[in-house]
Amino acid sequence: MNTARPIPADPDATVDNLVEAAFDYPPQQQRLFLENRCRNQPKILAQCLALLGLDEVDSVLCSNLDVEYAHETRGGIAALTDRYQLGGVVARGGSSKVYYARCRATNQPVALKLLKAGPAHVSWRQHFLREQNLLARLDHPNVVRFHDAGQLPGGQLYVATEFIAGDSLLHHCDRHQLDLLQRLRLFRKLCAAVGDLHQQRLIHLDLKPDNILVTPEGRIKLIDFGLAQLNPYHSDWIHGQPSMLTCEYAAPELLGGEGFNHQSDIYALGVVLYELLCGIHPFEGVSTYDLVHKRREQAVLAPSTSLKLLRINEKGRARLRGLTKARRMQGIPVGEWIAPDLDAVVLRAMHPNHEERFSDTKQLSQAVLRHLLGFTTPKRGNRLWQRTLAWLRRFDLVA
């Protein structure tokens, strides 16, 4: 009986490289290989096992099929094993599930997204098909690349795209402890990516941190185009179906079924910027009902105000300590984290009336750039360190 050879631990190995190397071993030996290579690195081991579907059950990789999915259709995802070597589940949504897989023909890793079957998910089929068609037509460095799509024997739809070995936007920023300056530069990359889509007459309509990935090289990758619309837009497709939207990021006109345009994406970008700056969602604690039916009536606190309110109780202060560490803001009073001009940028992007928002992503990005270059005067006063920071910003060229 063959057994895996002892392999020395590799402290410099990355998750992506380890998973790729594990595929070279028989499925029954992959866990042992990873345990040998990830000694004293439990977090990396856990990520590798999850990607390969070995975190919950000890079973052969290609037979590690989700039980729920296998019973939803007669063929199940087992019908794809002739083309893909299937790994573990990497993402779950209300209507779909995403697997890590490897294309047998090209040997490339892919993300395999399957739409759940059953009457409860019939309304999502048109959006899933829209995503397939859009991805097949799009060729953009900031959009996940299309690989394959089709239908399983039992009627279940699937789409395969390039696998992005990266984190969602907020996780990337927090894991790498990016300061506010670095977060703003990354946000400008996001604005550029969304702006390119708008120039191609495409509106995403589901921009949120989980649909914005960041590669290890720092490149933005947009995913999940199930709600996206190409010009000419059809405003009636979403009327009366707010459940298809991510209400926490959807613009008021979308939630009200009033139609939409590219400024609906501007609103979502404003919410994302809010979270990047202060680590708090602007509608935290608001019920879904109020989000959908009372959005225009809800006052949005400035990001700096939300941060200051955390100082009221011990729970908030504990959270603030975590935000401070994640943004490397130790020693800077919380009231000085976010300048008034940045507050104004966020609130304008999130204005309930789309005509009052930034006209496009370029204008939004330029407003952020003005802050990065120190062209505005925050409340901090004319302290020497502030002047020095503004001077350095001019030479720290932003993307």
Active site residues: 206
Angle at 162 between CA 226 and CA 130, to 5 degrees: 20
Tokens (6 digits) for 140: 């953009």
Residue 65 — φ and ψ, nearest 5°? -95, 140
Contact between 375 and 331 under an 8 Å Cβ cutoff? The reply is no
244 phi, psi to nearest 5 deg: -80, -10
Residues 6+ away with beta carbon under 8 Å from 64? 53, 54, 57, 86, 87, 88
3-state secondary structure of 222: strand
Q: Which of 172, 275, 268 is nearest to 224 (CA)?
A: 268
Q: Helix, strand, coil % (nearest 5) of the chain?
A: 50, 10, 40
Paired tokens of 91: 């993402």
**Residue 180, CA atoms < 13 Å, CB-side half-sphere:** 25
